[in-house]
Structure 1
Amino acid sequence: MRNTADRIRHTVGFELIGLVLLTGLGSWLLDLDMQHFGALAVLFSLLAMLWNYYYNRLFDQWLLRRRGTSIKRQRDRVVHALLFEGGLLLVTLPVIAWWLQVSLWQALAMDVGMVLFYLVFAYLYNLAYDRVFPVVEGAVLPQS
């Protein structure tokens, strides 16, 4: 299992890189003011950081209890990314509609675009992170 400092490094790195990529790409593709879209992206980043920390901890605990290891296989990574983005979608949809003054359908289309971006980004980022900072085998679930 990863410790708190490692989880914080993971989350901050994920959000900073994702934020830079999403703000530039999103404002360009949607032809929106970068500052206006960037402020929305920062809000989502803060929400996602909180969700990321707790979700990853719960997911790793679930893997550890289920298989005795928190090391993710290919299928685990796909499930991990889909569930993460699905949970975040529930929170972000009404915020997009309000912030950008668009309909819920338009907000859904934008949110789906961001989800697709982050699905690919999350998979690649987590794969790279696990290679750069590997999980130590034999780690045990901390007592609570």
Structure 2
Amino acid sequence: MSETHRARPGVDPASAPPSDVPRGPGGRDALVRRRVFQTPLLRRVVYAVVFELLAILFTTGILAALGNGGGPSLAVAVVSSTVALLWNIVFNSVFETLERRLGITGRPWWVRVAHAVGFEGGLIVFLVPAVALILGIGLGEAFLIEAGLLVFFLVYAAVYAYAFDSVFGLPDSAARAEA
């Protein structure tokens, strides 16, 4: 069943008019009841920009609450988001090339775990020295801050993805898989 011809509860699918309402997680209608993103690229750009803007706000707030000044906290947040975006591009390019060369298809769970560990490990390698330098602290303290932020962002990323999909609907690839 295509995304625009979904069955509605209590309605015979054969007689129901097509729906152009995007679907969210669990097959529910998205909160924005129309298609907002005309291309997958636009959806990814909006997703990443909003994610990182909120990440900057959260990181600044968390670091300020830990007793760091607003300026240094904001600097760490902006540097962290910039590094994360750039590392994401580089890491995913290398990772996907490696997948192709090794003939890995379908992204089984162990590949997803390797991807997450490699990505987050790289972020820690890049960000611990940057955090230490910006905040004027030792590498050990910077590592603890980064470890705490890593845990926060694992939860934040999952909640953000669910909320984004609930508001705007699933991407076409996931929506087709649920149809």
TM-score computed with the length of structure 2 as normaliser: 0.59
Please name the residue that 2:23 is paired with: none
Select which of 137, 147, 164 maps to 1:102.
137
Are positions 1:37 and 2:70 aligned together? no
Q: Which residues in structure 2 correspond to 1:67-78 (within 5 Å)?
A: 67=106
Distance in 2 (alpha carbons) for counterparts of 1:66 and 1:127: 25
Matched, 1:88 2:123: yes
Q: Deviations over 1:60-109 (max 9, x none)?
A: 896xx722xx8xx9x58x73654432221111011112222221111111
Gaps of 5+ in 1: 140-144
Higher-Rg structure is 2
Q: Provide Cα deviations, 1:19-74, integer angstroms capped at 9, x if missing partner.
A: 1111112211x211111111121111111122335556777896xx722xx8xx9x
Higher helix share: 1
Note the residue ranges of structure 2 that are not aligned, 5 or more in a row: 1-38
Give the 3 Å change call, closer, same or farther, for CA 130–85 of structure 1 in structure 2.
farther
Cα RMSD for the two superposed structures: 3.1
Paired residues of 2:60 and 2:73 also in contact (CA < 8 A): yes
Deviation of 1:5 (Å): 2.1
SS of residue matched to 2:173: coil
Identity of aligned residues (%): 31
Report which structure shows greater RCO (CA 8 Å, sep ≥6).
2
Aligned residues between the structures: 129
